[in-house]
Structure 1
Amino acid sequence: MNRNLKPVRHSQGDLFVCDITDVILKDDLASMEHPFYSLSKKPDREPRRYEHNGQWIEFRPSIKGLPTIYDKDLIIYAVSQLIAGMKKGRPLSKNVRIDPYAFLTFAQRGVGGRDYDALSDSLDRIDGTRFRTNILFDGTRTDEWIGIIDGAKMETDEKTGKIRSLELRLSDSVIQTIEDMEVLTLHPDYFRLSRPIERRVYEIARKSVGQGDSWDFRMETLHRKSGSKGSLREFRRQMKPIIEKDFLPDYMVIYDEQRDCITFVNRKTMPIARDIANDQAQRLLGLLSADVFDRARVVAPGWDVHHIANSFVAWWATIQQPVPSSPDALFLKFCETWQQKNGAP
């Protein structure tokens, strides 16, 4: 057992409670790229604005503060259930009903009274925080304040005070993320990472490296992307045990002191992208029509659209979805996102 990770509280059998034994943890790419969640364990009520490469996001926290990275577990759980349902043919719904015990065991938490009480505080922070951004909604700037969820309902036993069930109503932006399958699989040990900074650094590595070989960050860039409110010096101190003890799931963390650069290296606990060439991905490539490449050149001018197509089918293979009903439309959407993220070649 890795001593740098929290112990496993619950056996895999506990996941049967909510019929999610085969659920793979999912997370949305937008919140992995930009710091939606606070890394502080104390109430963080300070409004924030982040900018990076022309993109920005602003937050207005509730009186109870911004949602924390631990509150995010509820969103990961909800998204995971929805994706599991889609794989079984169930329609996507904004409303997600949650068994509190199933959630707590899924997230490797305790199941005592305080753990149940903490759910109410999490809902207050998630529901109360609003944001606006030019990151989501296909690059269209939206000046409307938006939430992560549109509401929540809790059922509590009047005699015992124990929460019986929760129901989240996810926002349109979260549902759109799921529909576009802009999600990534998380390692189950994500919930065993004990410090907020460890979870956030893992998210950044997972988003940046993905199933490639490695990715470099200057320390100051990683500090900015983490959302840490501490100084760069404090961030270096927090990174030191992560680097020296090398316990991050999926990725090794290497520090080049001379370059002041962090390199995340794939441990190969997941397949490398260039090796993903399964039958489903190849079949998807064959389903793309001849004229869709001409349309793709308009959407992503200057790029080699066949290179983008190879990245497209590799990505589709990694998220383990059936061949889509409209592969041309999905490919063009992928090209549009590619252009937005990478700009001109």
Structure 2
Amino acid sequence: MKGGIGKRATPRPRTYLTIGYDDKDWAKRHGARWDKERKRWYVLGEVSEMLLPYIDSLMGGQSLKEVPEEERQEARARATAARAKPLLRTPPPDDAQADFFVPGVWDVAAKDNRGIMDVAVFRLSKKYPRANSVMTHNLPDGGHVRVASGPDGMASIWDYDIVLMGVSHLTEAMNRYRAGLGEKPGRSFRPHVSEILKFCRQSDGGRQYEAVEAALRRLKQTTVEIVRRQRGKDGRPLRVTEGAGLINDYKAVSHEDSGRVTSVEIELPKWLYAAVVEAEHPEVLTMHPNYFLMTPGLGRFVYRLARVAAGKGEARWSFRLIHERSGSPDAFKKSSAAIRELIKANELPEYDLAEEPGQDGPILVMRFRGSFPTSSTEKAGP
């Protein structure tokens, strides 16, 4: 305060919101407050983009009861689209430099026997670490996929980029081996941290090196158990259970004075190694490099789903099934809104997205760009 008298701060404006009972806790986390006198929700000052669709003024001054539900949804969609973040982040400055050691991007498809590309074996949110938690996905054959995390949290879909790097190097090495141009690869690979960051299209600076070591811990602690039901040779029903971590062991080498990680050694799990090396016809799929630039975890999951379900054609999955298979802790309503944001942005690598009505709710149509539309009678899921 100068001159003995300070200027009174300009009061921040109140923006009133229409928030349903089920959304009140979520609204609080994004800055909403409760006006006891008016018995309405409001925000002081700037409104979080997550709350933009709930602003009363979007209704043109009408009370909520006077506005049809369809118009309310359209108004919220316009507000969300107006402030929507781009789906793809900007590549790092040195991203365009050619690097002989960066392979193409591959992932293990294993659509029929492992079933990990159409379920989330990782968390899709950076906000919720989900330490010491369990996520279960039920499968059509009566089995299930159970994902369990450790004390450092569940591996995220961004942590899984390191697994993709392992699969990609393994695939490239096996291609050379089958062509007689190299030795058969082992389960361990030893990349420099800068190579990991370049493969994942991340900048080489800040705390990225420490982030790699933390990601390895979560990948090691996250285990996937797959339970399948099948018939034995004598016709008797069998229950087959397999379990493994997303990676086996790892070793990180860092400078003691700075803590900066320089190199790591990662051992891939047996099932993943077998799928690439021992299979007569390896079930691997190419992944678009822009996958690593995608910022929403759900967007990454939908792209993976499109690769295994649609391929070079088209596939349809219900919003409900995507919500269940993604393992999202959010309510179905929020997941549906997030899917519609992906559709509006239409920036998914290789695939166009559309929504169409279904008997049991909305359907997401995933269509490879350049393919022709097919009949809408396809199944809404696997």
Find the aligned partners of 2:213 and 2:275 in 1 and give their Cα distance. Answer: 25
Give the 3 Å change call, closer, same or farther, for CA 136–176 of structure 1 in structure 2.
farther
Task: Tell me which residue corresponds to 2:66.
Answer: none
Answer whether contact 2:139 2:145 (CA < 8 A) is retained.
Answer: no
Larger radius of gyration: 2
Find the aligned partners of 2:343 and 2:252 in 1 and give their Cα distance. Answer: 41
1:150 aligns with 2:258: no
Where does 1:1-345 land on structure 2 (aligned, <5 Å)?
Answer: 3-9=86-92, 10-13=94-97, 15-16=99-100, 19-20=101-102, 23-29=103-109, 30-41=115-126, 42-45=128-131, 46-53=133-140, 54-89=142-177, 90-134=183-227, 141-143=239-241, 145-179=243-277, 180=279, 181-211=282-312, 213-257=313-357, 260-268=362-370
Give, in angstroms, the shift of residue 191 of structure 1: 0.5
Secondary structure in 1 matching 2:300: helix
Find the aligned partners of 1:151 and 1:144 in 2 and give their Cα distance. Answer: 18
Give, in angstroms, the shift of residue 99 of structure 1: 1.2
Give the 3 Å change call, closer, same or farther, for CA 117–224 of structure 1 in structure 2.
same
Give the 3 Å change call, closer, same or farther, for CA 138–170 of structure 1 in structure 2.
farther
Give the 3 Å change call, closer, same or farther, for CA 149–25 of structure 1 in structure 2.
same
Find the aligned partners of 1:226 and 1:130 in 2 and give their Cα distance. Answer: 17
Answer whether contact 2:123 2:154 (CA < 8 A) is retained.
Answer: yes
Answer whether contact 1:83 1:178 (CA < 8 A) is retained.
Answer: yes
Give, in angstroms, the shift of residue 144 of structure 1: 5.7
Give, in angstroms, the shift of residue 66 of structure 1: 1.1
Give, in angstroms, the shift of residue 162 of structure 1: 1.7
Q: CA RMSD in A?
A: 2.5
Secondary structure in 1 matching 2:249: strand
Give the 3 Å change call, closer, same or farther, for CA 92–196 of structure 1 in structure 2.
same
Find the aligned partners of 2:204 and 2:289 in 1 and give their Cα distance. Answer: 19
With 256-265 and 79-88 compared, the bigger mean Cα shift is at 256-265
AA matched with 1:102: E
Give the 3 Å change call, closer, same or farther, for CA 157–125 of structure 1 in structure 2.
same
Find the aligned partners of 2:250 and 2:194 in 1 and give their Cα distance. Answer: 17
Find the aligned partners of 1:62 and 1:138 in 2 and give their Cα distance. Answer: 34
With 152-161 and 69-78 compared, the bigger mean Cα shift is at 152-161
TM-score between the two structures when normalised by the length of structure 2: 0.65
Please, which runs of 5 or more residues in structure 2 have no aligned partner? 1-84, 110-114, 178-182, 233-237, 373-381
Find the aligned partners of 2:225 and 2:197 in 1 and give their Cα distance. Answer: 30
TM-score between the two structures when normalised by the length of structure 1: 0.71
Give, in angstroms, the shift of residue 137 of structure 1: 12
Find the aligned partners of 2:96 and 2:156 in 1 and give their Cα distance. Answer: 26
Percent identity between the aligned chains? 23
Give the 3 Å change call, closer, same or farther, for CA 63–257 of structure 1 in structure 2.
same
Write out per-residue CA displacement over residues 289-339 of structure 1, whole angstroms, 9 at most, x where no aligned residue. xxxxxxxxxxxxxxxxxxxxxxxxxxxxxxxxxxxxxxxxxxxxxxxxxxx
AA matched with 2:170: L
Find the aligned partners of 1:257 and 1:108 in 2 and give their Cα distance. Answer: 37
Secondary structure in 2 matching 1:200: helix
Find the aligned partners of 1:159 and 1:257 in 2 and give their Cα distance. Answer: 59
Find the aligned partners of 2:294 and 2:231 in 1 and give their Cα distance. Answer: 33
Give, in angstroms, the shift of residue 97 of structure 1: 0.8
Give the 3 Å change call, closer, same or farther, for CA 137–197 of structure 1 in structure 2.
farther
Answer whether contact 1:14 1:102 (CA < 8 A) is retained.
Answer: no
Find the aligned partners of 2:286 and 2:240 in 1 and give their Cα distance. Answer: 28
Give the 3 Å change call, closer, same or farther, for CA 207–8 of structure 1 in structure 2.
same
Find the aligned partners of 1:136 and 1:156 in 2 and give their Cα distance. Answer: 45
Find the aligned partners of 2:355 and 2:339 in 1 and give their Cα distance. Answer: 10
AA matched with 2:105: L
Write out per-residue CA displacement over residues 160-194 of structure 1, whole angstroms, 9 at most, x where no aligned residue. 32211111111111112213312111111100111
Find the aligned partners of 1:71 and 1:254 in 2 and give their Cα distance. Answer: 29
Find the aligned partners of 1:176 and 1:138 in 2 and give their Cα distance. Answer: 23
Find the aligned partners of 2:99 and 2:239 in 1 and give their Cα distance. Answer: 40
Find the aligned partners of 1:118 and 1:142 in 2 and give their Cα distance. Answer: 36
Answer whether contact 1:129 1:147 (CA < 8 A) is retained.
Answer: yes
Give, in angstroms, the shift of residue 3 of structure 1: 4.8
Please, which runs of 5 or more residues in structure 1 have no aligned partner? 273-341
